[in-house]
Amino acid sequence: MNLLAIESSCDDTAAAVVRDGRTVLSNCVSSQIAMHAAYGGVVPEIASRNHIKVISALCRQAVEESGLRLDQLDAVAVTYAPGLIGAVLVGVNFAKGAAMALDVPLIPVHHVRGHIAANYITHPNLKPPFVCLCISGGTTAIVDVQDYTRMKVMGETRDDAVGECFDKVARVLGIGYPGGAPMDRLSEGGDDQKYHLPHAHVQDRELDLSFSGLKTASLNLIHNAEQKQEPLDLAAFAASFGRTVSECLVPRVMQAAAQKGYGKVAVAGGVAANRRIRQDLQRACDASGNLLFLPELSYCGDNAAMIGCQAFYEYQAGHQAGLDLNAYATRDIASG
């Protein structure tokens, strides 16, 4: 089954052609980072307008690079939630038009389910069930992936997503946008014990997380150093911040993995590129006898190949949409 997949939930417009859920025939991304960098964050209106500008040519490019003809496409898949509503709507409406013109089924895909499916591309033998840590700019959740389309959230952030926390702290440090990758690079060789930042403990649900306290404490530490005109050891700060984030995430994922007993842990989303988190998870999985699955770096961030991959399994489970498909800013992973 050859699927044209479309992703436009935030600031990347992406189109890909994927065969049978695991083989990526083309994967095109048009990034808007340069347009939003001046504002230190994504401006929704600018994102939507630029998706409209590039989406048609990008889909054409994805089909051309796949080596297929239009009449060889069997379905069109699209991210329909969650994301910036105007941005998601651009992809959804384009996908409806494409599915109607090609006379093929339209398959709606939840963005975070797509991130999880990025692991199937990197690891052809990976099959559910497994526990997945989903960490991106908009999501922080520990998901019980019972089957390709049956999922349950075991724990999630009560406030900020971890990627948002990286981005906000990096913005105040003035080291670039989006801030996760620059923070990661800056941390190299830094003393990760030099700065002490808080770890939030969430009552009631032991697998839930919270990052707003870490964000506020980090911003206060930076501002205090500025006011006192004390130099901040940037490498040590970035390393201490990365250690703290990892110490919040890794024990909870391992606890979830122990509860489920699948023996398999995966990671998904843009923050899955973080070296400290990858390294700490590898150690924890080795020590507990779990297999760790990490997506290739090129599939950690937003892309359409992962949407095409998940769409194959959604289609097999009978999930299709009509031309009345709507876009949603928020949507539970479990409801698909």
Q: Which of 160, 208, 302, 314 touches ligand KG4 by CB under 6 A?
A: 302
Q: E strand or H helix at 2, and its extent?
A: strand 2-7
Nearer to ligand KG4, 128 or 270 (CB): 270
Q: By CB under 6 A, which span of 55-63, 93-101, 200-208, 267-275 interacts with ligand KG4?
A: 267-275
Residue 274: half-sphere exposure toward Cβ, Cα within 13 Å: 34
Q: By CB under 6 A, which span of 123-131, 140-148, 213-221, 268-276 interacts with ligand KG4?
A: 268-276
Determine if 10 is a binding residue for ligand KG4 (CB under 6 A). Answer: yes
Region for 85 from its dihedrals, namely left if φ exceeds 0, alpha if ψ lies in -120 to 50, beta otherwise: alpha
- Number of residues counted as binding ligand KG4 (CB under 6 A): 19
Determine if 21 is a binding residue for ligand KG4 (CB under 6 A). Answer: no
Determine if 180 is a binding residue for ligand KG4 (CB under 6 A). Answer: yes
Determine if 163 is a binding residue for ligand KG4 (CB under 6 A). Answer: yes
Determine if 178 is a binding residue for ligand KG4 (CB under 6 A). Answer: yes
Cis peptide before 105 (omega within 30 of 0): no
- Check if the beta carbon of residue 22 is closer than 8 Å to that of residue 121: yes
Nearer to ligand KG4, 155 or 269 (CB): 269
d(CA 184, CA 186): 6
Q: Which of 21, 190, 270, 336 touches ligand KG4 by CB under 6 A?
A: 270
Within 10 Å of residue 94's Cβ, how many Cβ atoms? Answer: 22
Lay out the site mask for ligand KG4 across 185-214 (x = CB under 6 A, - = otherwise).
Answer: ------------------------------
Q: By CB under 6 A, which span of 146-154, 190-198, 233-241, 271-279 interacts with ligand KG4?
A: 271-279
Q: Which of 82, 128, 176, 179 touches ligand KG4 by CB under 6 A?
A: 179
d(CA 88, CA 78): 9
Least distance (Å) between residue 129 CB and ligand KG4: 23
Determine if 167 is a binding residue for ligand KG4 (CB under 6 A). Answer: yes
CA nearest to 70, candidates 26, 36, 102: 102
d(CA 277, CA 267): 10
CA separation (Å) from 262 to 46, 125, 154, 287, 329?
43, 15, 14, 15, 32
Q: Which of residues 122-141 bind ligand KG4 (CB under 6 A)?
A: 136-138
Nearer to ligand KG4, 91 or 137 (CB): 137
Q: Which of residues 53-82 bind ligand KG4 (CB under 6 A)?
A: none
d(CA 182, CA 81): 28
Q: By CB under 6 A, which span of 19-27, 180-188, 214-222, 320-328 interacts with ligand KG4?
A: 180-188
Nearer to ligand KG4, 2 or 310 (CB): 310
Least distance (Å) between residue 212 CB and ligand KG4: 15
d(CA 232, CA 223): 10
Q: Which residue has the tokens 């070296």?
A: 275
Q: What are phi and psi for residue 29, nearest 5 degrees?
A: -130, 135
Cis peptide before 128 (omega within 30 of 0): no
Provide the pairing of β-strand 12-19 with 23-31. antiparallel
Which residues are within 8 A (CB) of 59 and not within 5 positions of it... i.e. 6 or more apart? 4, 6, 15, 94, 98
Least distance (Å) between residue 252 CB and ligand KG4: 17
Least distance (Å) between residue 278 CB and ligand KG4: 9
The residues binding ligand KG4 (CB under 6 A) are 10, 136-138, 163, 166-167, 178-181, 184, 269-271, 273-274, 301-302
